Amino acid sequence: MSQNAQKQVDYLLKLTDNIGIIEHCRLNKPDYIEGYCVDDNARALQVCLRLKQSYPVLNKVLPIYFDFLKSALKKDGLYNDLNSDHTWQKNFEINSEHYGRSLAALGETIEFEPNLSSQTTKFFDQIYSSFTQKSSPHLRVSAQIILGLKYYRSEEIKPWADLLVNQYLKEKTRSWHWFEPLLSYDNGRLPLALLTAYQITSKPPYLQIALESLDFLTKTTFDKKLDCFVFPGNQGWIDKKGHKTIFDQQPIEAGSITESYCLAYKITKKIKYKNLALKSFAWYSGKNILNVSLINPLTGSIYDGLTKNGVNLNQGAESVLSYLLAYSTLLQ
């Protein structure tokens, strides 16, 4: 890729203080009143691990994100939201996605940050022990667990992949090849997890369902006439009955499906997945239903969504993180 992500990295640093990355922004100004969350600090840690060689400044903030995750683990569980006065909100559940996102980030930390490996494995084990097969976590939590297990305890991937497979077979019909009755958010994460499971186990059903669901996601969200992606809108999503909501589209959709296409291409060598990865990533820069760029040209920040009236002018952490994670995958 010829693109440079220096502005996005600089914006990431702007959102980061000595506690962690601020979750929300008013326009492109960090909204300290809204505080911090584990979800975003876990993703920021992944960005650092993947891009620190290209952008060495990320080595300075990597420990901040890691320490934030550590500070969130208490005797009664892994907290998610830290208030501006540095008190934790007690509103978490094991089924919440911050558990899965933390494990995904810690798995990468074990693999790519040897200096932290010994304490990270202990930390990973503490969080992972919260789950059993009977706990039946949210599908995206299961997907994130698989992404973490790829690098540590990979022999335990199968039951989590089987959870996704069983749910897929339960929901699948002749015209609906998906894991849920809705196409909602972060959809690319589900086929990405099964592609990862196939990488580790070489079990053909994981690859078959990963590609079948990814192709369905493509068919449902890529408009051939417009030659761009039209992701599910968060005002109603896309459901099994054919109802389709276009707005508001979220950056996390472009990011997660780009990551999934990249791995599909790496495994299958089919050029269509490489081309789709480039087209889904181009959604950020204006290859979308409104032909509007979601990249702020001055700051490098990413607008929080595509609405029927244009972009959502707020530019929070999740948006730029989704961009950088997708960018890092395209570089591989």
pLDDT in tens, 47-76: 999 999 999 999 999 999 999 999 999 988
- 200 in any annotated domain: yes
CATH code for the domain in which residue 281 is found: 1.50.10.10
Neighbours of 163 (CB within 10 A): 21
Using 70 as the pLDDT threshold, list the residues of the chain that sit under it.
1-2, 132-136
- 71 in any annotated domain: yes
- 69 in any annotated domain: yes
Task: Output the CA torsion sign for 250, 252, 255, 258.
Answer: negative
Half-sphere exposure in the Cβ direction for 88 (13 Å, CA): 15
Residue 132 has a pLDDT of 64
What the block records as the tokens of 121 is 């494995």
Q: In the chain, how many domains are there?
A: 1
- 1 in any annotated domain: no
- 195 in any annotated domain: yes
- 223 in any annotated domain: yes
Residue 135 has a pLDDT of 61
- 12 in any annotated domain: yes
Residue 131 has a pLDDT of 83
Range of the domain at 27: 6-331
Q: Which amino acid is at 298?
A: L
- 37 in any annotated domain: yes
Write the DSSP assignment of 109-144 as a string of letters: HHHH-GGGHHHHHHHHHHHHTT--GGG---HHHHHH
